Structure 1
Amino acid sequence: MTSSVSPRRAVRLGLALALGGSLLGLTATRQTGLVHTVNILLDSVLTDAQKRLPENALRTLRAADGLEVTTFATEPMLQNPTNMDIDERGRVWITEAYNYRPAITGNPTTAAGDRILILEDTNGDGKADIRKVWYQGPELNAPLGIFVMGRKAIVSQSPYVWLFEDTDGDDKADKKTVIFQGIEGDQHDHGMHTFVFGPDGKLYFNFGNEGKQLLDASGAPVKDPDGDPIVATNKGKYKQGMVFRCDPDFKNVEVLANNFRNPFEVAVDSYGTVWQSDNDDDGNKGVRINYVLEGGNYGYKDEMTGANWSAKRTNIEPEIPRRHWHLNDPGVVPNLLQTGSGSPTGLLVYEGNLLPEVYRNELLHCEPGHNVVRSYPAKKAGAGYSASIENLLKNEGDSWFRPADVCVAPDGSILVADWYDPGVGGHQAGDQTRGRVYRVAPPKRPYTAPSYTYADPEGAVLALMSPNMSVRFKAWNALTSLGDKAVPVLERYWRTSQNPRSRARAFWVLAKLKGRPYIDEAIKDTNPDIRVTGLRAARQTGGDVIGYVRQLANDPAPEVRRECLIALRHRTEPEAAELWTTLAAAYDGQDRWYLEALGISADRQWDSFFAAYLRKNADPIASAAGRDIVWRARTDAAVPFLARLATDESTDLNSRLRYFRAFDFQSGKAKSEALVKMLDGKSAPQINRLALLHLDQAFVGSNPVAKTALKKMLAGLEGSEYLEMESRYGLPEENPKLLKLALSPPDDNLGRNAMSQLLQQKGSGLVQNVLNGKDENQIRKALNALRFVGMKESLELLQSVALDKKYTKSVRQLATRNLGQSFAGEDRILALLREGKIDKDYIPYAVQGVANAWRKAISKEATTYLGGATVAGKPLPKVEDLVALRGDVKNGVKLFAQNCAICHQVNGQGADFGPKLSEIGSKLPKEAQYMAILYPSAGISFGFEGWEIQMKDGSTVVGIVSSKTETDVDVRFPGGGSQRLKTSQIKSMKQQADSMMPAGLHENMSNQDLADLVEYLVSLKKK
């Protein structure tokens, strides 16, 4: 008898026997551990190409104890899955993204467009054996969301949200309707994301910070319940990413919260509690999980100005992950959990019974940046929550595992869609042909889809209890259609079920069908979660909200009182202010969730609410709770108390910084008067400085007391502190001091910034006087201060020296080299070379000045004027050849310092310009690292795009815009320098198509050097 066992299978069997003989007779846990060990050892005999094969997909995947992972589908059945849903029959629906970002990736596309697939297991073996293309069209380009509703599906792809429909039941969509449009972020990961179905019969969805607006099918702005257009602006009502709720007919859209960066997917539990994750600016370890407090601001940008989180502000958070979300600012909702680095994607609340207890009723979440699917067990903490992390599915050896979405099947098992790629999206795709779907369930559990008789109330209510969203959607519609016939069965679940989440689901249908009688019951329920649900239902059904809040205002549960506060938001009944005061009296001075609920509740009514509060609290700052409420308030009546707290010398200054920061969230005459009063000449210098910083800039210029205080303060400041204040207020009389700082700065960046500010304040004449002088040392200092500025005036000053024969040779060499040290200067150098205006002896200095130009064509053309032979750029090496090389980490450290540290930081070392790379090895494998080096424009990290800024004076500034407000634009430059520009002096801003990272690094490095550099980069992982 001959054996047909493959070599790979033989190795596996041999390893298993060597590790302890047959797997028979071992417990499931020991079997799993042994197989996992075998798979790890198997890695040593597989090539990289073999490791990527579908049959090896499970070799390094590890499910949590009590669970096993199996493959439901792999390529070639699907490719590049971005989102997934599972219908009531257990069929898996996939949105694909073969045509993902071709303009950046350079990957091929298909003119037929991307696909929506249905994958089906027809023989019950837990693996898909049929694939149907439900829809394919040229308008589909990397859709990011799908929610299946029987024969219909909502498909999200900026700038559209479509409703697709299969009208004849042949499993092919033949009708398409535009639901929303005008959403920005076309072909962008930060645009519109998927829809989910809530227990209240409503739809929930979100978009990232590229979405910016929501238009209806006709192109008209969608308005919120207050009648305001839903549009994100720097100083408007809404900012950045948002989460929404609407009726099932897509009407009555509400913005539940705003000011996120890129929330990928929203999740809603049976009580109507909303959750989502959010991505940070890459490299700042600020990825977070959020409980969505309705009406909340989540702090990605400054609430009042729209400034970026990195902009200087009083009481700034010392830790970057907290600073990233403005967590010290009044009016920012705290985070449930900060998880560090990552690239968060699909999210759900698991309300099934098949998985182990630790995962039940908890969030399940995909984190492709760390190759893991996690759970976040949450506990109530005052009016909010705390959470921890439990891994559900982890890949411990293959960094290509990129879980994009997670869904619950009708049988309660979990399915995970795997993008499977060397990168994590972010405008990159290293592989177009692969994609997987995995199933996680207890061992040996067959994949099934229970059937329900939706036309029968008993069957429909049973379906409503399903852990699968599509089943619940179908059940909801069946029950609402049955109407009174469904009430007895719903009542039985509502009143007798031992599962409070089952009770909540039945209650929601009853509340929508019959209203007040059931809401009255819920409000009086012994379970605080049900009381919360009852109040939410009252708000949605137009019930007696004020009456219910009156009943619950002294509820012992903080989460119920929190919900009372949310219910009072924008309520104008006379009793609302008194109820708010009652609820404010329960604040303990520690619960930030509760404090933010108080602030959300008082929105647009702070004057009346705070007045009612003062009637019962004449001296609110006598208690910690009152001090917090004053800090959070937005009313002139709070300003005197805020001023007392800010100037209370019995408290150390660091503790008072929060009160000075709070002035930034006030407006009007009372604020200005209170701050000017601090400028009485008796206050300490630091108090004067803080008072000036928090006055409006226009006010300081027009108020004699403030202006005198500013001049006095500037006289006593030096260095960066002086420049910060002068740049803010721009007093021309300070030009001589600016010149002095520019010529003798503590560092180059400060000198450049001082020179830039001087030129903005019409101080070029002072610089010209230095250049016309006889002190060559001063002349050289001026030339060095001018080199990075890039303004029209700075270029003209440098050029005048470079071409003027009256200067010494060394001065002209310096001026010629420095002329090419800015973006606009590079162009000026080329123009002079083309026109033959640079003397032959100075051409090498001109070429040296543009040698590190971001635009490689500049330096290449410049070298042609040297007159000698030039070496053409080397062809790009093949990624597969580089991956095959073994690198040396120690040499990679040296190469990084020489070539990369001018723009990137690792563990705080290097220049803060491009993305931080301290954990880049956890995010990108070798293949993606090489792609980033060889083709930098193919994967520009969001937030690190280059901008060309044309100034009104004709000069050009190019860099990364780190912050933008109505008055200022902060720009960062390679090397870590920065410059603040006034928007009033900017003519236009244009985003660059190419990366700010120079191409052609390979030209000065051998293939082995590249391998050493990448070996070091992949070693930089989360500890």
Structure 2
Amino acid sequence: MVVDGVTVLDERLELTLMKQDPEIVTPIGIAVDEKDRVYVLESHTHLPPKDYQGPDHDLIKVYEDGNGDGNWDRESVFAEGLFEGLNIAFSPEGHLFAVTSKEVWKFYDEDGDGISERSEKLMAFTKPGQVYAHAAILSIAFDTEGYMYIGRGNTGAAHWIFQGSDGKEVSGYGDGGNILRAKTDGTELEIFSTGYWNPFDLKFDNYGRLLVADNDPDSRGPNRLVHAVKGSDFGYQSLFGGSGIHPYLAWNGELPGTLPYAAPLGESPSGLLNANLGRLPQDYHDQMLCTIWEESSIVRIALEEKGLSLTGSTEVILRGGKNFRPVAFAADSKGNIYFTDWVERVYPNHGKGKIWKLSAKENTEHLAQRSLYDPPIANEKVKRLNQLLSKSTNFDQHFKNLQSNDPFVRHTAVMGLSREVHRKKLEQAMQDASADVRLSALLALRHSDHPREAALARQFLEDPDPEIRRMALIWIGSHGLASQRENLERALTAGDFTTQLFETYLETVKLLEPQFQKAYQNKQEEISKRIPLELPDEFIAGIVSDPSNPSQMRAFALRYLEDPADQKELLLEFLSLEKEEYLLMEVIQTLANVPDPQVADVLLQISLSTNKPVNLRAESLSALSRQPLKEWREIIPLLEVSSENLAIAAARYLRAKSGEEAVKLAMERVLNDGSTCDSEGLRQQLMLALSQDTGQRPDPQELDAWNSLLEGPADPDRGRRVFYSNTSLCSTCHVVGARGGDLGPDLSNVGKSKDRRGLIGSILLPSEEMSPEWQGWFIEMKDGTRYDGRQIDVGYEDIKLYTQAEGFVQVKKADALEYGMSATSLMPEGLEKRLSNQDLKDLLAFLESQ
């Protein structure tokens, strides 16, 4: 079924267009009252262009079906005068509330005629003076116990203060977005939950769980549905920038003390609805609906219990074209679901808009329908979670729960044990034999405002467990415990070294720098992330050059040299003096990105040196592909060495020179000499270089056949060289272990997230399964220039796009012929054509090892 360009993918549903422009323009929030009148927040103040013809304030319109025929025959204006309105909702008492970017308003319709006689501003920002609407007050919902919940965006890292009707304030500086809670009269304001990017909507499910649709940072995804509970932290802090990638951040509960999301969502989720409020088929029971603005779709979210929380997955039920941009939901007493449609993919007010109705067809067996403020259905898991969150004195129960596998149970334990009454026993738990218990004790103590927190955090710096030491660093850095600045390095030397630990150490050093501390504490910048977070001068170079530091530390520090070219002499000195192979490998990988004739000559000598380890020689050959090497012909004899890995590395380097007669003859000689070329991997490499037929391969769609073809021995070290080679170009867009580009996803943990078949599919069919946060975009200019990238931002006059070659490019919208989502992945198809079967096996082994 297709209605005005929107495809209904569930044949049991029907879709009706109720209103469109010019009768309704740029609608955002929507709500339904007890008389089934539909209220729509019509925006006129969302970045309007200079020549905008609409009013200078937002309207709340009311639509009513007076004769019961399913069509609206009455229209009026309920209220006007709002600026940057974002959402509306009815409270259980029947009052309409509206949130704007800066304020919360309550409207009074005292005679019930659908027109507000007066309004009251209950809550508002007192700081900042200006705030971007998409990172401000975004959403509102009510429970059945007298509270309202407000979704606050991250305010662009600005210092913010929000004030309730009784004068009580909550504030933040560099934190993430929050869910704020207050009584429905605006009193008793508090921060209920934190760690969001921009929580665009929040709704309760049938059992009283508060579910939040949160947008994602620039480079950390996906967008997510989270289950918010008292005191929960979902991992984002704006102080650390907009990418979402930082050792102090998490997105799916990766950092102890943060909670995972319930379900991944597509790009720009904007509205949520409890499916049981609608007249929908029975299998929608206990599900949520969500508008996915950027992807022009509406999804159903199937949820199931997981421990004391939820997990889920999505299925598209409505999909439109580029002029379908669904925003917010509401449902009436008959189960009709209404939603607003912004229509165009531009943020400024543009004069377009639609309102739709969605419901099941008459012959469909419907689910049991609920009203918006029916009491929550009794649920043992929800009851248990609420009980654990409310207990304050049962130390033994909380202590036992510290060792639970359920992160929500552990959260309740940390919350309960952080109370002052438990401090003494918590300090005893610091010596527990279980690392899980010690870690949870750390989290509870960090949350407790302990008067001796600096001394306690200092003890955790020398814990045997590296994860505990890492969290001690985060405690010290996030709380600004500058007295511990000289003790930070103990976290690196007290036990096993990990790269995560080292990254966290560097960020903690930055946070404790006196210049940063002074500026942060005094809020010298209105926007916290504008305060430079920098290491002391020559800090990394000092780590690298100090032989008393563990070799692993020195090696990993090389990846963070701000400008390796400035340290060329130091790096070359390492190559001549260092004995540790691991450190030498890191030096070579660092020098690979320092194109220089002297570097090229040194790398060539290592490649040719018969007394160097084969892996070092092969790594040097790989690094030489990015060097200005004049004497490259000296590599030709390496085609005939006995070491398979070295010969393959030489063949890969020389592929770019295969048009040279000397190279071609040498390759043909090796290929035709059965006694010399007994390596299948080398044979395949030479055949590729000489453009010879390498044999029949399956179609890229035949993943099972490819899986069989790529079975057999593989070498992850060799695969790393494939990853960073000029042949594959993988590292141009992807990073592994802090090395590589950022146009595509970080693959440092890809071995945990994808199985072998999934990895093969990602390589062969990159467009089949694109995560929303890595969606490609294009801009085609009128002069024929084309830009491809991601993270597009379309304004009224300009378009900004992140590209690999040039970073962010900004063009005039008037100069663009066309722009939009790329039909295919930014990762080009056909990678397998540039790689041998053995290359692919080795590359898979490398990725699986991550």
Query: TM-score, length-normalised on structure 1?
Result: 0.50
1:289-328 to 2 correspondences below 5 Å: 289-301=225-237, 306=240, 310-313=244-247, 325=251, 327-328=253-254
Distance in 2 separating the partners of 1:310 and 1:345: 20
1:374 aligns with 2:374: no
Which piece of structure 1 moves more, 400-409 or 691-700?
691-700
1:583 aligns with 2:398: yes
Q: 1:1017 aligns with which of 803, 808, 822?
A: 822
Alpha carbons of structure 1 residues 187 and 143: separation in structure 2 relative to 1, 3 Å:
farther
Distance in 1 separating the partners of 2:743 and 2:423: 44
1:84 aligns with 2:18: no
Match of 1:432 in 2: 351
Deviation at 1:735, TM superposition (A): 11
Secondary structure at the counterpart of residue 332 of structure 1: coil
Aligned length: 621
In the alignment, residue 742 of structure 2 is paired with which amino acid? D
Match of 1:387 in 2: 312
Deviation at 1:560, TM superposition (A): 4.6
Deviation at 1:934, TM superposition (A): 11
Q: 2:389 aligns with which of 553, 559, 566?
A: 566
Distance in 2 separating the partners of 1:390 and 1:685: 39
Alpha carbons of structure 1 residues 357 and 309: separation in structure 2 relative to 1, 3 Å:
same
Alpha carbons of structure 1 residues 685 and 624: separation in structure 2 relative to 1, 3 Å:
closer
**CA offset digits 1:181-230 (Å, max 9, x no partner):** 22656462222123222111222221211286344478x9643xxxxxx1
Match of 1:335 in 2: 261
1:72 aligns with 2:34: no
Distance in 2 separating the partners of 1:412 and 1:348: 12
1:264 aligns with 2:200: yes
Match of 1:117 in 2: 61
Contact 2:27–2:42 under 8 Å retained in 1: yes
Contact 2:18–2:354 under 8 Å retained in 1: no
Match of 1:815 in 2: none
Distance in 2 separating the partners of 1:681 and 1:614: 20
Q: 1:199 aligns with which of 133, 144, 149?
A: 144
**CA offset digits 1:792-833 (Å, max 9, x no partner):** xxxxxxxxxxxxxxxxxxxxxxxxxxxxxxxxxxxxxxxxxx
1:992-1011 to 2 correspondences below 5 Å: 996-999=808-811
Alpha carbons of structure 1 residues 777 and 351: separation in structure 2 relative to 1, 3 Å:
closer
Q: 2:172 aligns with which of 220, 232, 238?
A: 232
Secondary structure at the counterpart of residue 387 of structure 1: strand
Q: 1:411 aligns with which of 319, 334, 339?
A: 334
Alpha carbons of structure 1 residues 644 and 102: separation in structure 2 relative to 1, 3 Å:
same
Alpha carbons of structure 1 residues 386 and 639: separation in structure 2 relative to 1, 3 Å:
farther
Contact 1:378–1:387 under 8 Å retained in 2: yes
Alpha carbons of structure 1 residues 693 and 326: separation in structure 2 relative to 1, 3 Å:
farther
Match of 2:78 in 1: 134
Deviation at 1:264, TM superposition (A): 0.8
Deviation at 1:644, TM superposition (A): 4.0
Deviation at 1:335, TM superposition (A): 1.0
**CA offset digits 1:596-640 (Å, max 9, x no partner):** 2222333464xx63642576x686334756666557753665865
Alpha carbons of structure 1 residues 283 and 170: separation in structure 2 relative to 1, 3 Å:
same
In the alignment, residue 334 of structure 2 is paired with which amino acid? D
Larger Rg: 1
Deviation at 1:127, TM superposition (A): 1.9
Alpha carbons of structure 1 residues 690 and 942: separation in structure 2 relative to 1, 3 Å:
closer
Distance in 2 separating the partners of 1:100 and 1:231: 25
Distance in 1 separating the partners of 2:176 and 2:733: 27
Match of 1:593 in 2: 408
Match of 2:153 in 1: 208
Alpha carbons of structure 1 residues 370 and 665: separation in structure 2 relative to 1, 3 Å:
same
In structure 2, list runs of 5 or more residues that go unmatched: 447-452, 514-534, 575-586, 599-728, 747-765, 830-850
In the alignment, residue 712 of structure 1 is paired with which amino acid? P
In the alignment, residue 95 of structure 1 is paired with which amino acid? L
1:665 aligns with 2:474: yes
Deviation at 1:711, TM superposition (A): 3.4
Deviation at 1:149, TM superposition (A): 7.4
Secondary structure at the counterpart of residue 216 of structure 2: coil
Deviation at 1:441, TM superposition (A): 3.1
Match of 1:767 in 2: none
Match of 1:912 in 2: 742
Distance in 1 separating the partners of 2:562 and 2:35: 64
Secondary structure at the counterpart of residue 115 of structure 1: strand
Secondary structure at the counterpart of residue 643 of structure 1: coil
Alpha carbons of structure 1 residues 130 and 446: separation in structure 2 relative to 1, 3 Å:
farther
Distance in 2 separating the partners of 1:1015 and 1:307: 26
In the alignment, residue 314 of structure 2 is paired with which amino acid? I
**CA offset digits 1:209-264 (Å, max 9, x no partner):** 1286344478x9643xxxxxx12212xxxx22111221121111121101201111
Alpha carbons of structure 1 residues 604 and 401: separation in structure 2 relative to 1, 3 Å:
same
Distance in 2 separating the partners of 1:350 and 1:156: 24
Distance in 1 separating the partners of 2:783 and 2:105: 38
Match of 2:844 in 1: none
In the alignment, residue 398 of structure 1 is paired with which amino acid? G
RMSD of aligned C-alpha atoms? 5.7
1:142-153 to 2 correspondences below 5 Å: 142-147=85-90, 152-153=95-96
Deviation at 1:82, TM superposition (A): 0.7
Contact 1:202–1:245 under 8 Å retained in 2: yes
Distance in 2 separating the partners of 1:933 and 1:172: 53
Contact 1:378–1:385 under 8 Å retained in 2: yes
Alpha carbons of structure 1 residues 689 and 79: separation in structure 2 relative to 1, 3 Å:
closer
Alpha carbons of structure 1 residues 633 and 690: separation in structure 2 relative to 1, 3 Å:
farther
Secondary structure at the counterpart of residue 339 of structure 2: strand
Secondary structure at the counterpart of residue 177 of structure 1: strand
Deviation at 1:86, TM superposition (A): 0.6
1:252 aligns with 2:192: no
Contact 1:122–1:128 under 8 Å retained in 2: yes
1:468-507 to 2 correspondences below 5 Å: 468-469=371-372, 472=373, 502=375, 504=376
Distance in 1 separating the partners of 2:543 and 2:774: 55
Contact 1:101–1:428 under 8 Å retained in 2: yes
Alpha carbons of structure 1 residues 566 and 70: separation in structure 2 relative to 1, 3 Å:
same
Alpha carbons of structure 1 residues 76 and 628: separation in structure 2 relative to 1, 3 Å:
same
Which piece of structure 1 moves more, 271-280 or 628-637?
628-637
Contact 2:164–2:186 under 8 Å retained in 1: no
Alpha carbons of structure 1 residues 115 and 639: separation in structure 2 relative to 1, 3 Å:
same
Contact 1:371–1:401 under 8 Å retained in 2: yes
Contact 1:614–1:620 under 8 Å retained in 2: no
In the alignment, residue 999 of structure 1 is paired with which amino acid? V
Deviation at 1:675, TM superposition (A): 5.8
Contact 1:244–1:254 under 8 Å retained in 2: yes
Deviation at 1:683, TM superposition (A): 8.1
Secondary structure at the counterpart of residue 415 of structure 1: strand
Which piece of structure 1 moves more, 255-264 or 719-728?
719-728
Contact 1:904–1:915 under 8 Å retained in 2: no
Alpha carbons of structure 1 residues 324 and 354: separation in structure 2 relative to 1, 3 Å:
same
Deviation at 1:167, TM superposition (A): 4.9
Secondary structure at the counterpart of residue 269 of structure 2: coil
Alpha carbons of structure 1 residues 107 and 281: separation in structure 2 relative to 1, 3 Å:
farther
In the alignment, residue 399 of structure 1 is paired with which amino acid? K
In the alignment, residue 70 of structure 2 is paired with which amino acid? G
Contact 1:147–1:195 under 8 Å retained in 2: no
Secondary structure at the counterpart of residue 596 of structure 1: helix
Match of 2:210 in 1: 274
Query: TM-score, length-normalised on structure 2?
Result: 0.60
Match of 1:467 in 2: 370
